[in-house]
Amino acid sequence: MRTWTLRRRLVTLTTLVGVVLVLIAVVAATVAAQNRNHLDTLLDKTGPLRTSAQGLQTALLNQETGIRGYAVSGDRSDLDPYTEGVAAEQRLVAVMRPLLDDEPDIAHQLDRIEEQAAAWRSSVAEPVVAAPDVATARTFITDQARLRFDEMRASLDELQQQLLELRDTVADKARNTGNTLVFLLVVAAAVIIVAGVALLLSLNRVVIGPVTDLADQVRDVRAGDYQRKITGIGPPELSRLGADIDAMREKIAADLNEVGAARERIEWVNGQLQRQAEELIRSNRDLEQFAYVASHDLQEPLRKVASFCQLLQRRYAGQLDERADQYIAFAVDGAQRMQRLINDLLAFSRIGRVTAGFTEIDLDRVMAQVSSQTEAAREYADGELVFHDLPTVLGEEALLTNLLSNLVSNSIKFRRPGVPPRVEVSARRVGEEWEISCADNGIGVEPEFADKIFVIFQRLHSKDAYPGTGIGLAIAKKIVEYHGGRIWVDAEATEGTIIRFTLPVMAEAPADDEPTHDDTTTGVKEVAA
């Protein structure tokens, strides 16, 4: 037996224990089936039978009470207990009869009670009900009638006693089978304990000892001694396991050498990436500084050029030939356009550079300012501005005013010919963000240009068709991103343009994933021309 493998030992022990447990399980299953039948009889037969028998006794008593009450008062309503008792008796007997198929003695007793009840009704109850007056009805309430009913009650008591004896008999059988099941479980537990002890002793000698020795060798390798050779002892399986672990040790040692070389290369690459990231940060800072300085410092010479071009235009208008007037007009227009471009570029570069800090901003109040700023354009276009109850957010009021003003102004500017513009600003909560929408009925944006319109100085129309520098939405995008949000064009809009942007919800705002505003929100503000 010492030459047996671990697998053979375990299979032999498991087979023996399995055979014994299967035999115990077969016997236990048979006893359990008997126990279940006894319990089913207790729960599904004796219990309902006893309950129905008690109900039957109550139904018969109600019949007698109703007949006696009617015989005394002559009131037909006093017959209600009798009528209900008869119906209850029929219902209960119908419930009891299927349960007594295997109990002929009890079924015979129930038949006897039914016969006695029918005889009492035919000799007493029905004549009382059919009597023309109370005096006649009382003549049927005699000692003989009372004796008949007492006999029926005695039969009911005997039925109850038979049901009680049936319950006790079945309960004893269930108790005996239950005790047998407990005994079988104890035997099974004893078999399992003995098998467990035998298995533990066997494992301790042929598994735990060799595995402990193997683990000690593996710990030496884990401590850094990758050149230590691992040998397996004990059963053939553990010897093969030791050889496999030693092969893995050799592979790990080789891989560690490669990892060390790779780590050196990665550290060098990370250093290069760190230097490039720092260079990019410095370059972006320099570019922002350049844009700010350039746009700021170009203001003065450009104002001088624009001023003198305008002086030339006013002083020499009509004194030179038509081509000279045209050239001067071109120069004035170019200087003014350059001045607007530089002003917009300066405003773009200032976003995030000069800050007064975030405060709580009521967007309804901001929209009131936007309404005032765009009033002239709305009056000219006969437009309408509608904004719902907007939330309070953290941000810079000047930047948020500029953001909403740009969106509303664009909606008014890019209107459809002959159609009065209508702009609607609303908000809803989505998770931990406010989603704010600016919707209009204008010319709309083609889906392929949805991202292009947020690029600085990017125009989709000529300056003759729609004036402007093309920087408004780029400024809007930078303001939204500065406040920790995002902005996009709703590609699913069926009419006009819907621009949506998000702003973070303040920490103290109530959590609610449902939209806070819809078309039925109270407090809607409309500003028309």
For domain 6-207, give its CATH number from 1.10.760.10, 2.60.40.790, 1.20.120.1730, 1.20.1250.20.
1.20.120.1730
Q: Which pLDDT tens digit goes with each residue over 360-402?
A: 999 999 999 999 988 888 888 888 999 978 999 998 888 889 8
The better pLDDT of the pair 440, 227 is held by 440
Q: What is the pLDDT of residue 523?
A: 41
* DSSP state at residue 435: E
Decide: 210 and 234 in contact? Cβ < 8 Å.
Answer: yes
Please give the full DSSP string across 22-78, using - where no structure is assigned. HHHHHHHHHHHHHHHHHHHHIIIIIHHHHHHHHHHHHHHHHHHHHHHHHHHH--GGG
Q: Which pLDDT tens digit goes with each residue over 277-302?
A: 888 777 666 666 666 666 566 666 76
* DSSP state at residue 443: S
Share of the chain above pLDDT 90, in %: 7
Alpha-carbon span 297 to 305, nearest angstrom: 14
Sheet with 422-430, strands from edge to edge, namely: 487-489, 498-504, 433-440, 422-430, 384-387, 525-528
Q: What is the 3-state secondary structure (H, E, C) of 121-142?
A: HHHHHHHHHHCCCHHHHHCCCC
Question: Looking at domain 351-504, what is its CATH homologous superfamily?
Answer: Histidine kinase-like ATPase, C-terminal domain (3.30.565.10)
Exposure b/e, 440-474, CB count within 10 A at least 16 = b: bbbbbbeeeeeeebbeeeeeeeeeeeeeebbbbbb
Decide: 184 and 24 in contact? Cβ < 8 Å.
Answer: yes
At residue 422, the 3 state secondary structure works out as strand
Decide: 246 and 231 in contact? Cβ < 8 Å.
Answer: yes
Q: For the chain, what are the domain ranges?
A: 6-207, 351-504
Query: How many other CB atoms are found less than 10 A from the CB of residue 165?
Result: 13
Strand duo 384-387 + 422-430: pairing: parallel
Q: Which pLDDT tens digit goes with each residue over 62-112?
A: 888 888 887 777 777 878 888 888 888 889 888 888 888 888 888 888 888
Alpha-carbon span 320 to 387, nearest angstrom: 53
Please, which pLDDT band fits residue 336 given cuts at 50, 70 and 90?
A: low
Q: What is the pLDDT of residue 352?
A: 63
Q: Which pLDDT tens digit goes with each residue over 408-459?
A: 988 888 888 888 899 999 999 998 999 999 998 888 777 766 667 776 655 5
Exposure b/e, 364-402, CB count within 10 A at least 16 = b: bebbeebbeebeeebeebebbbbbbebbbbbbbbebbbb
In whole angstroms, how large is the CA radius of gyration of the chain?
50
Q: What is the 3-state secondary structure (H, E, C) of 251-296?
A: HHHHHHHHHHHHHHHHHHHHHHHHHHHHHHHHHHHHHHHHHHHHHH
Q: Which pLDDT tens digit goes with each residue over 20-78?
A: 888 888 888 888 888 788 777 777 778 888 888 888 888 888 888 888 887 777 777 87
Alpha-carbon span 86 to 65, nearest angstrom: 12
Alpha-carbon span 99 to 275, nearest angstrom: 91
Decide: 236 and 5 in contact? Cβ < 8 Å.
Answer: yes
> Is 351-504 in the same CATH topology as 6-207?
no
The number of helix segments (H) and strand segments (E) in the chain equals 15, 8
Q: What is the 3-state secondary structure (H, E, C) of 167-198?
A: HHHHHHHHHHHHHHHHHHHHHHHHHHHHHHHH
- Amino acid at position 151, single letter: E
- What lies within 8 Å, CB to CB, of 50 at 6+ separation is 160, 163, 164, 167
* Greatest pairwise CA separation for the chain in angstroms: 147
Decide: 292 and 350 in contact? Cβ < 8 Å.
Answer: yes
Please, which pLDDT band fits residue 344 given cuts at 50, 70 and 90?
A: low
Q: Which pLDDT tens digit goes with each residue over 117-157?
A: 888 888 888 888 888 787 777 778 878 888 888 888 888 88
* Total residues belonging to the chain: 529
At residue 102, the 3 state secondary structure works out as coil
Q: Please choose, from the candidates 481, 479, 475, the residue with its C-alpha nearest in 3D space to the C-alpha of residue 456.
A: 475
Please tell me the pTM assigned to this model: 0.41
Alpha-carbon span 485 to 477, nearest angstrom: 9
